Structure 1
């Protein structure tokens, strides 16, 4: 897996549903460490208004 960065909105959108919810580990196939990084990056991305809270 590549380094997860909050500025990569296109990559982070693949880990969200159409309604904006973050997909679970079972669906994404990420390990616990990477899932935490993904979640943290998505939340930062939302706070900076790069990505919407809802789809």
Structure 2
């Protein structure tokens, strides 16, 4: 059960950060780079919850 909660929290945090990045008044290229970094960190975090790493 705790794995499911951790995965849900990670997904919600990544979604919130991506939403906040969209609201930043910066160049579109910078937004895209930040989004890619956040998604990669989110995937790595999810893989840690699933005990892949």
TM class by shorter chain equals 0.3 to 0.5
Report the structure, 1 or 2, having the larger helix content: 2
Larger Rg belongs to = 2
